[in-house]
Amino acid sequence: QVQLVESGGGSAQAGGSLTLSCVASGYTLGNCMGWFRQAPGKEREAVAGVYTGGKTTYYADSVKGRFTISQGNAQNTVFLTMNSLKPEDTAMYYCAAGAPTCGARWSKRERYSYWGQGTPVTVSS
């Protein structure tokens, strides 16, 4: 059974940092893993992606230069390091896996077959 388990969410002050973790088990991951987020009343949006075969990374413009996606030593683990947090980063953050490739379509939700339950991030000003 496929499972994606996120952890590391919590509260932070604006300008602070948090690191999210995602551990996948139960299947072959495919070649692209990503982090998405959904704020109350808004659609789920892509934050960052990583091509697990070669570690190429992708970022939404809103987080570029502040967030870093990386893989652990085991390819079934992916991290999202979030620096210089802003109140607008407040959202539920989801790990996603199972997309066959990343590339120009890395941010399309429908390409990911597996999703975690989410971990909340709250940033106060």
Expressed in angstroms, the distance from the first to the final Cα of the chain is 40
pLDDT in tens, 39-80: 999 999 999 999 887 779 999 999 999 999 998 877 788 999
Q: CA 90, 95, 100, 103 torsion: positive or negative? A: positive
pLDDT in tens, 90-117: 999 999 998 988 999 999 999 999 999 9
